[in-house]
Structure 1
Amino acid sequence: MTTTQADPADSLVGSTVPVTRTARWSVLRRVWPPVIAIAVAVGLWWLATSVLAAPTSLLRQTAPQKALPAVGELLSRGVLLSDTGYSLYRLLVGLLVAAVIGIPAGLLIGLNTTVERAAAPLVQFLRMISPLSWTPIALAVFGIGNQPVIFLIAAAAVWPILLNTVAGVHAIEPGYLHVARSFHATRTEVLTAVILPAIRGHIQTGLRLALGIAWVVLVPAEMLGVRSGLGYQILNARDQLAYDQVVAVVLVIGVVGYLLDLVARLALGGRTGRSRHG
C-alpha cells in the first residue's frame, strides 16, 4: 500500500488565502467608515452651498467645486506652504515656552502642599481667562510680529501641561517615594529616577492637549498684524472677497491640525490615561 505525502507548499498556500482575505477585510472595516463619513460631509457641504443657498448668496463661492480647486491654486502659487511653515514655527516655539514653564511649575505645585494651596486660586483664575483677552497687552508689550503670537499660544498651552503634570505627581504611588528615600536618594535622584518616569504619560497627555488648544488659538492670533501665516491668509482672502480661498485655507488648517494630532499620537505613544486639563 502506498501513501501520498502532502506537499508543504500546498498547505502553505491554502492557509495563506484565508489569512490574506481576513487581513483585507480587516483593512476595509477600518477604512470604509471614515471614507463614508467624509463623503457624506462633502455631500452635505455641496447641498448647502450649491442647491439650498440662494443664487446670489456668497455661500455659493464656498462650494466644494470652487474651494477645492482654490487649494490647488494657492499651493501652485507657493502661498500655503510658506504660510504653513510660519504658522508651525510659531506653534512649536509657543509650545516649547509653555512646556518650559508648565512642567517645572507643575512639579513644584504637585510636590509641595503649601505651594499648591497658595497657587490653586491663582491658577484657577488665570486659566479661565481666554488667551485672546491678553491681545491688547501682548501688542503693547511686544509690538507687531511673532512675539505676541507666541505669547498668546504659550498662554493657552501652558495650563493643560501644568495641570496634567500636577495630576501625574498626585498619581505617583507613595511607596515608590518611600523606597527611594529609604535608600537615601537625593532630591535630584528622586526626581530623575522616580518622579519624571512616573509622570511621563501625564506629561505626554498634557502636551497633546496643549497642541490642540495652541493650534486653535494660533489662527486668530495670526490676525493681529502679522503678514504671514494661515490666519493672515484668511484675512487676506476675505479682504479680496475671495471666499473660495477663505474656505481653502480653512480646509488646510483642518488637515494640518489633523496631521499634527496624528504625529503627536504616534510620537507620544498615544497615551490617553488619567489626565486633568484646562
Structure 2
Amino acid sequence: MRQRSSSTVRGLLGVAGLLCLLLLWWLGVHVFGGNDSLVLRFSPEATLASLGELLLRPELYEHVLVSLKRILVGLLLALLIGVPLGLMIGSYRHLEAATTPAFQFLRMISPLSWMPVVVMLLGVGDQPIYFLLTFAAVWPILLNTVAGVRQLDPRWLQLSRSLSATRWETLRKVILPGVLGQVLTGVRLSIGILWIVLVPCEMLGVSAGLGYFILDTRDRLAYSELMAMVLLIGVLGFALDAFARWLHRRWAPA
C-alpha cells in the first residue's frame, strides 16, 4: 500500500513538472515575445492546435513509422556488433588492453561529424542513416557488455567448469543471463542517443521521416507545425525511454 502511494505521489509530481514546463513555454512566448505575430506561431496554443490537425493526417504516421524503423534497424545492428564484441573483450584482458584506446578514441567522435564522409561514400538514402545510427548506438552496448562480463561472479564460472559444461553452455546458461542487465542498460542509453541523432540524420536528402518533415514545415513557413513536430518528437522519445525502462525492470536480473 505504501509503495502504491509513493508511486502515485511520484506520478503527480511528474505531471506537475510537465505543467510547469508548459507554463514556462507560455510565459516565454507571451511575456517576452509580446505581440509579434511570428513569435505567436510558436505558442503552446498554436502548437497544440497544429498537433491536433497533424494527428488526423495519415502522412504523419508514415513519417513516424519510417523513423521508428530506422531506430530499430540501427539498434539491432548495434546489438549484433556490440554484444559479441563486448563478450570477447570482457573475456580476454589482452584484447581489452589492445582495443580500449582505439574504441575510446572512436566513441568520442560525434556521429554527426561523419555525415559528409558517409554521404560521399554511400550516397543519400537509408544506408548512411543506418551507418550513423549504428555508430552512435554501439558504444553504450559494447562498454556495458564488457562491464557486465567483468562483474560476473567467478564462482559461477568455476561451477560451470566443475560440471564440465561446454563453452556454448557456459555462454548460454551463465554469461548471457549474467550480463543481461548491463546489456539492457546499454540499450536504454543507446535509444536515447539514437533518438537525438536520428533527426539530423534524416536531413540527408531522404524523403520521409521526422527529420525530413521538420525541414518540410520550415520550407513551408508552417512554424506552428514545426513546433508540433518538435513536441511530438519529445513525446515519442519519452515513450521509447519508458519502454526501455520497462524492459530493464522486466528482464534484468534482480
Interval containing the TM-score (normalised by the shorter chain): over 0.9
Of 89, 98, 105, the match for 2:85: 105
Q: Is 1:172 matched with 2:148?
A: no
Q: Is 1:210 matched with 2:190?
A: yes
Q: Is 1:158 matched with 2:138?
A: yes
Larger deviation: 139-148 or 27-36? 27-36
Cα 1:270/1:257, change in 2 over 3 Å: farther
What do the CA deviations read for 1:30-72 (whole angstroms, capped 9, x no partner)?
A: 4421222222211111111122214336322100010111111
Supply the AA of the counterpart residue of 1:193: K
Q: Is 1:148 matched with 2:143?
A: no
Contact 1:205 1:271 in 2 (8 A): no
Supply the AA of the counterpart residue of 2:178: A
Cα 1:183/1:24, change in 2 over 3 Å: closer
Contact 1:265 1:271 in 2 (8 A): no
Q: Which runs of 5+ in 2 are unaligned?
A: none
Of 121, 125, 130, the match for 2:101: 121
What do the CA deviations read for 1:66-115 (whole angstroms, capped 9, x no partner)?
A: 01111111122223211110000000000000000000010110001111
Classify the secondary structure of the residue corresponding to 2:249.
coil
- The 5-angstrom pairing of residues 1-278 of structure 1 reads 29-56=9-36, 58-269=38-249
Measured after TM superposition, the shift of residue 183 of structure 1 is 2.4
Supply the AA of the counterpart residue of 1:143: G
Classify the secondary structure of the residue corresponding to 1:62.
coil
Q: Distance in 1 between matches of 2:108 and 2:212?
A: 27
Q: Distance in 1 between matches of 2:233 and 2:222?
A: 17
How much identity, in percent, do the aligned residues show? 48
RMSD: 2.1
Cα 1:116/1:31, change in 2 over 3 Å: closer
Q: Of the two, which has the highest radius of gyration?
A: 1
Cα 1:42/1:201, change in 2 over 3 Å: same
Classify the secondary structure of the residue corresponding to 1:223.
coil
What is the number of residues matched between the two proteins?
253
Q: Distance in 1 between matches of 2:107 and 2:119?
A: 20
Q: TM-score scaled by structure 2?
A: 0.93
Measured after TM superposition, the shift of residue 23 of structure 1 is 9.9
Q: Distance in 1 between matches of 2:151 and 2:11?
A: 37
Q: Which runs of 5+ in 1 are unaligned?
A: 1-18, 274-278
Classify the secondary structure of the residue corresponding to 1:55.
coil
Q: Which runs of 4+ in 1 moved over 4 A?
A: 22-28, 270-273
Q: Distance in 2 between matches of 1:51 and 1:252?
A: 24
Who is 1:12 aligned against?
none
Supply the AA of the counterpart residue of 2:92: N
Supply the AA of the counterpart residue of 2:249: G
Larger deviation: 239-248 or 93-102? 239-248
Q: Distance in 1 between matches of 2:166 and 2:148?
A: 20
Larger deviation: 125-134 or 142-151? 142-151
